[in-house]
Chain A
Amino acid sequence: MTTAEKYVTAAYLVVLAVVLLYVVIYAFKLARLEREVLRLARLAAERREAGEAPRVEPAEPVRTSI
């Protein structure tokens, strides 16, 4: 492999690595959002069971997959 080939490959790999890093960060963000949605859903369910009227409207189903 020549020096030029190494540099060119490195440039393309950098782009790939940054996109992958973004996807990983985004996956963490989605996991956090999912945890929050589940927590709110659990709270709403607990209130329903306790006979308390929910104070917030149920949210629209969230589809967060790519």
Chain B
Amino acid sequence: MSLRNNRGVALASTAALLLLAGISLAFFWVPDDVDQGFSQRIFYIHVPVALTAYACFGWGAWKALRLLWTGEVRYDLESYTAVHMGVIFGILTLVTGSIWARISWGVWWSWGERQLVLFLVLFLFYSAYFMLRYSTEPGPRRERMSAVYALFGVVLIPVSFLAIRLAEGFIHPTVFTRDGPQMAGSMFFVFCVCFAGTLALAGALYANELLGKRVDASLRELEEARA
């Protein structure tokens, strides 16, 4: 088992550079939005963080599928770590979204919005993953149960993503349509920089967390061998 973490170092450096550049551009370079003015700048952190949460949950489901497909135990830890990251980015999505809702709509939360409620359902579903995981004894049974649960949750991602497009009478804006991104080129560029930075951040956190969990697991094995 390799415990070197060069990928984590590279991703953390990339994330720091991209996020610093992206946030600077978002605050000092892109023009104000015609409708929302300055407050639209939350878009450059809220949407990348939300998409990264989806990516983490999707990555966790992919690793869960690999576990069920191949039976290799290492995928269990990778799936668990990805879900862990997804929940962290999910919290950030909910908090930044609430702040944006407060400025734009005058409320912190709207239960009438399917997009918001479905994201909350997705977040709570994956939060319950930890309860399931820690209510079962470690071993193949827990690995399979966690994998199946992580796979089920991924179904909610396209539902959550498409909900706003299927909904009627919504107030949550739709920026990415079939005709492409509905924003100026400069705004889309800054969005891409921030999204790349957020993905790199998630990758760095994932690599470090996975390394920590692997070291932890190795130490437990050593303890058991010593006992």
**Is A26 in contact with B99, judged by CB distance below 8 angstroms?**
no
**Is B39 in contact with A4, judged by CB distance below 8 angstroms?**
yes
Chain A residue total in the interface (Cβ 8 A): 32
Question: Which chain B residue shows the least CB distance to A34?
Answer: B215
Secondary structure of the B side of the interface? helix
Chain B residue total in the interface (Cβ 8 A): 41
**Is B42 in contact with A7, judged by CB distance below 8 angstroms?**
yes
**Is A22 in contact with B205, judged by CB distance below 8 angstroms?**
yes
Contacts from A to B (Cβ < 8 Å):
2-5, 7-8, 10-12, 14-15, 18-19, 22, 26, 29-30, 33, 36-37, 40, 43, 55-56, 59-66
**Is A40 in contact with B219, judged by CB distance below 8 angstroms?**
yes
Contacts from B to A (Cβ < 8 Å):
1-5, 8-9, 12, 23, 37-39, 41-42, 45-46, 49, 88, 91-92, 95-96, 99-100, 102-103, 201, 204-205, 208-209, 211-212, 215-216, 218-219, 222-223, 225-226
**Is B219 in contact with A33, judged by CB distance below 8 angstroms?**
yes
Contacts of A37 in B (CB 8 A): 215, 219
Contacts of A3 in B (CB 8 A): 103
Within the complex, the shortest CB–CB distance from A34 to chain B, in Å, comes to: 10
**Is A60 in contact with B226, judged by CB distance below 8 angstroms?**
no
**Is A63 in contact with B96, judged by CB distance below 8 angstroms?**
no
